[in-house]
Amino acid sequence: MKNILGIIGYPIGHTLSPLIHNTAIKHIGLDYIYLPFEVKKENIALAIGGLKGLGIKGINVTIPHKESVIPYLETLDDNAKFIGAVNTIKLEDDKIKGYNTDGLGFLKSLKIDAKEDVKGKNIIILGAGGSARAIAIQMALEKANSVIIANRTVERGKKLAEYIKLKVHDPSTGWVPRKLKVKAIALNDSLLVEYFREADIIINATSIGMKDNNNPLFPYNYISNKHLVCDIVYRPIETNLLKEALLRGARILNGLGMLIYQGSLSFKIWTGHEMPVEIVRKTLMKELKS
């Protein structure tokens, strides 16, 4: 019998995770299979409780369950504790442990795909939801100079900024981001353009961009050729934001790398094997182009 991995979410039909993991499993030759499980919100306790009984080795967790699974887990890794959300669960020695690989996945894409180092950089993050939270916390831990959280609802951004100031630290060294400038601002604030002038990296951590008719979050003339503009959206590969950034001479980074690298970190947690990232990337590109 194959070892079972999977993903839970609702709806789940759009997910590329089975293609990612089953491609890696086949390439390495592991005795695993990765399956999608559509789980409604009211059934999350039953789903997590059933993992042990079904002998499932691990699962990914996607919208809308990343926070609601936490009460049903027995332990969390440091990233999941900081972020307050889980995207990976592993069952080992009859224990259910939660992880969050989103921020680390984005960081890995930033370093490998964009050849960019975060330390000392000024960063603007668009959005204050789950992905923005994971990325903002990771940027703080990587010793960015400043993290500006620009959100439609400024209060939500302020809560995230305060959380980073008060709670985030590196448990291995005790480092805390005392000197880090963390601030929240409304997307329609006239001062936003000033932060763009200081910024090195712009990150769209919202779903805006998945549809061509989405209104822009900010005036595109804020972008200049000094910026690296990142979009966590991977479908389409080149969003309107990235197209406009290219027109203005900026470097760009799409969301495909984050998708792959957060998956590769989950894969290593479950199987102990490194994911064949370039094989997976080629397979995904073929799927997205079709």
Give the CATH number of the domain where residue 223 resides. Answer: 3.40.50.720
CB–CB of 64/9 below 8 Å? yes
Number of helices followed by number of strands (H, E) in the chain = 10, 12
Does 220 share its domain with 276?
Answer: no
pLDDT single digits (tens) 217-250? 999 999 999 999 999 999 899 999 999 999 999 9
Task: Please count the structural domains in the chain.
Answer: 2
- Compute the distance between CA of residue 155 and CA of residue 106 in angstroms, rounded to an integer: 25
Does 140 share its domain with 264?
Answer: no
Does 127 share its domain with 72?
Answer: no
pLDDT of residue 145: 94
pLDDT of residue 175: 66
Mean pLDDT, the chain, rounded, equals: 93
CB–CB of 269/88 below 8 Å? yes
- Compute the distance between CA of residue 257 and CA of residue 219 in angstroms, rounded to an integer: 26
Does 16 share its domain with 89?
Answer: yes
Residue 249, token pair as written in the block: 């001479």
Active-site residue set: 66
What percentage of the chain carries pLDDT values higher than 70?
A: 97
Q: CA nearest 137: which of 171, 181, 169, 99? A: 169
Does 131 share its domain with 87?
Answer: no
Does 112 share its domain with 95?
Answer: no
Residue 111 confidence (pLDDT) above 90:
yes
Angle at 220 (CA atoms; ends 216, 225), nearest 5 degrees: 140
Q: Which domain holds residue 41?
A: 3-100+257-289
Does 123 share its domain with 249?
Answer: yes
| Matching residue, tokens 């503009």 | 229
